[in-house]
Amino acid sequence: MKFKLIIFFTFYCLLCHLKAYPQANINKDSLDNILSKIENPKEKVDFIIDFLDEPGIQYSDSIVNYANRAFQIAQRINYHEGIINAMIKLANYDFRRSNYKNAMALAQQAKEMSEDLNMDKELAQSLSIIGTIYTELDEYDKSSQYFFKSLKLFEKIDYKSGIASSLGDIGMDFYYQNELNKALKYFNKSLEIANENNLLTEVKRQYNNLAVVYQEKQQYDSAIVYLRNALEINIKLGDKLAQGINLFNIGFGQMNQENFELALQSFQQSFNLFMELNNSMHIAECYVNFGFCYTFKNDTTKSIYYFNKAIEESQKHNFYRLISISAKSLDQIYTQKKDTLSAYKYVVIEKNANDSLVNLQKQKHVSKLELQYLFEKEELQNKLAQQTKNAVQLIIIFSLISGLIILGLLFSKHRLKSKYLGLEKEKIESELNIKKRELTVNLLALVKKNEILTEISEKLIHLEQNAKEIEIKKAIIQISQELRHSADDKMMSEFSTRFQEVHAGFYEKLLKDYPELTQNELKICAFLRLNMSTKEISELTGQRGPTIDHARYRLRKKLNLSSDTNLVTFLSQI
């Protein structure tokens, strides 16, 4: 008869080195005493978290009280790392007690906080918990996704303990899917890293996992070797619960090899440890295994005694599976003894236990379906929230890009407009310079023409003086005057046209502010606007210098200018 090894799969266990105080064999009283001496709240939180990582402590019921205490202190001082680590510890606790709903809620909160705060280690630990919950729900696709995400994060920060643990988790996924060779591959990878870095807790975990696989392969010698290796480490760590389970599983291997005496010794050692720890479940399991060993040794008296002890212990705590196994074995024993009355008694006990098991399995199945629904609903909500967030981000990004493009176009348009205006300004300035040069040339030509006319006029005067006939004199005088007036009118008309082209609106502005100015005064203003001297004006107009100066004086008075104001400067600003 072959027996199946109980899988010893530690949920998630990281060995942390304690920072400030010695931790070995600290009990509740000594822990409370140490905590009372720690004044800094942050240090107190860290100490509790480190203490809860101690081997053996992880399976204690007191873990929830200390984890809650650390959580409350961390919340009061807004210590994010402490809050997250406390939630991870509480999630582990809830998982071990099959409270998957609470475990998932805590793990999700820890995950979200870790993501927001860029805390990769804590994020990876949260993902591992979520993955393990999905493993329990037989959602292996989802669990493997979380385990590989966790592994990637641990590799990113080169956290060896986390890497080893994630590899072990992935191996367990393959084991549950009966892919034993792949499971062995990941367990051995994990074991290699754990040994290289002296991670004893992870080393013993992988020894146990390897033993599970070799038991499944019916290679019992190999399984026992790995279990003894794990036992040796648990003795070093002082983890009595793990020692008991190792010895318990070694006993199974020995039973499969039909070494019943050795199996009884292993079960007895295991039983002693479980009694010391007052672990009812494992005590009852030991009674069952004692019963099997004595059955195979044909010692029915002892086998009946131990199967009854198993039923008695199991009925106290509703361990229906163990009640069913023990009752069935007793039914078989009494049937062989042809004690039908006693056999029937245990048939009834077995049936009642099986009915209770069926009900529990139904409840568990319903709970599992409910959890799957809740988790899928939450995942869908998270996806929708993420999609909404992504959509908002895309809208913001698109708006920013559109805004930048619009700004770029406006800037480009402004540059083009500025460039165009600059070119227009250059063109206007160029045209203005040309007109100024034309005006200057025109003025020079007018001056030259005026000089010529003056010479002609003087010659005509000379001829008039030398003429003998009166009619000839009159004719010469008339010609001289007409020539002078005609030349002056034409000259001033041409000058006025050229001046208006260069200084458009000059006359209009002057007349608007000073409407009493005469045409002659406007001309003087124009000459002065061109910064012409009295001599230059005299040469152009043919008037004498004193006349021009007198005209300037009258002009200053009409313009209400003080002696401090320069007339030319004033006119140049109009």
pLDDT in the model for residue 18: 27
Tell me the C-alpha distance between 502 and 524, whole Å. 16
Question: Residue 146 has which token pair?
Answer: 């979380």
Strands (E), 123-183: none
Quick one: how far is CA 553 from the chain centroid? 82
Question: Residue 15 has which token pair?
Answer: 């060995």
List, for residues 174-218, the tens digit of each pLDDT value.
999 999 999 999 999 999 999 999 999 899 999 999 999 999 998
CATH number, domain 512-574: 1.10.10
**CB-CB neighbours of 10 under 10 Å:** 19
Phi–psi pair at 18, nearest 5 degrees? -75, 145
pLDDT in the model for residue 205: 93
Whole-number Cα distances in Å, 99 to 63, 103, 105, 368: 15, 6, 10, 11
pLDDT in the model for residue 133: 92
pLDDT in the model for residue 29: 61
Q: Where do the CATH 1.10.10 domains begin and end in the chain?
A: 512-574
CATH number of 1-216, picked from 1.10.10.350, 1.25.40.10, 3.30.1330.90, 3.90.580.10: 1.25.40.10
Q: Which residues of 141-172 are buried (b: 16+ CB within 10 A; e: fewer)?
A: ebbbebbbbbbebbeeeebbbbbbbbbbbbbb
List, for residues 314-325, the tens digit of each pLDDT value.
999 999 999 999
**Cα angle, residue 13 at apex, residues 9 and 18 outer, rounded to 5°:** 155
Tell me the C-alpha distance between 299 and 333, whole Å. 11
Q: Which residues of 519-544 are buried (b: 16+ CB within 10 A; e: fewer)?
A: eebbbbbbbbbbebebeebbbbbbbe
Residue 67's nearest CA partner among 80, 81, 48 is: 48
Whole-number Cα distances in Å, 1 to 298, 302, 341: 14, 19, 27
pLDDT in the model for residue 4: 41
pLDDT in the model for residue 17: 29
Tell me the C-alpha distance between 504 and 491, whole Å. 19
pLDDT in the model for residue 8: 34
Full pLDDT tens readout for the chain, 574 residues? 444 443 333 222 322 322 333 333 445 667 778 888 888 999 999 999 988 887 656 656 677 888 999 999 999 999 999 999 999 999 998 888 888 889 999 999 999 999 999 999 999 999 999 999 999 888 899 999 999 999 999 999 999 999 999 999 999 999 999 999 999 999 999 999 999 999 998 999 999 999 999 999 989 999 999 999 999 999 998 888 899 999 999 998 999 899 999 999 999 999 999 999 899 999 999 999 999 999 999 999 999 999 999 999 999 999 999 999 999 999 999 999 999 999 999 999 999 999 999 998 888 778 778 877 877 787 788 788 888 888 898 899 998 998 899 988 888 888 888 888 888 888 877 777 777 666 666 666 666 676 677 777 777 777 777 766 677 777 777 776 666 655 556 666 777 777 777 777 888 888 888 889 888 888 889 888 888 888 888 877 777 889 888 989 899 888 888 888 888 888 888 8
Q: Where do the CATH 1.25.40.10 domains begin and end in the chain?
A: 1-216
**CB-CB neighbours of 344 under 10 Å:** 13
pLDDT in the model for residue 374: 78
